[in-house]
Chain A
Amino acid sequence: SAVISQKPSRDICQRGTSLTIQCQVDSQVTMMFWYRQQPGQSLTLIATANQGSEATYESGFVIDKFPISRPNLTFSTLTVSNMSPEDSSIYLCSVDLITGVQETQYFGPGTRLLVL
Chain B
Amino acid sequence: KQEVTQIPAALSVPEGENLVLNCSFTDSAIYNLQWFRQDPGKGLTSLLLIQSSQREQTSGRLNASLDKSSGRSTLYIAASQPGDSATYLCAVSPPGGGNKLTFGTGTQLKVEL
Taking beta carbons and an 8 Å cutoff, which residues of A are in contact with B? Answer: 4, 9, 31, 33, 40-45, 48, 58, 92, 94-96, 102-110, 112
Closest-CB distance, A12 to chain B (whole angstroms): 15
User: B49–A43 contact, CB under 8 A?
Assistant: no
Taking beta carbons and an 8 Å cutoff, which residues of B are in contact with A? Answer: 4, 32, 34, 36, 41-46, 49, 51, 89, 91, 93, 97-101, 103-106
Interface of A is mostly: strand
Question: How many A-B residue pairs lie within 8 Å, measured between CB atoms?
Answer: 58
Interface pairs A-B: 9 shortest CB-CB: A107-B43, A107-B44, A42-B103, A109-B43, A43-B103, A42-B105, A96-B99, A33-B99, A108-B43
User: A42–B97 contact, CB under 8 A?
Assistant: no
User: With A and B bound together, what is the CA distance between A44 and B4 in angstroms?
Assistant: 12
Shortest Cβ distance from A44 into B: residue: B103
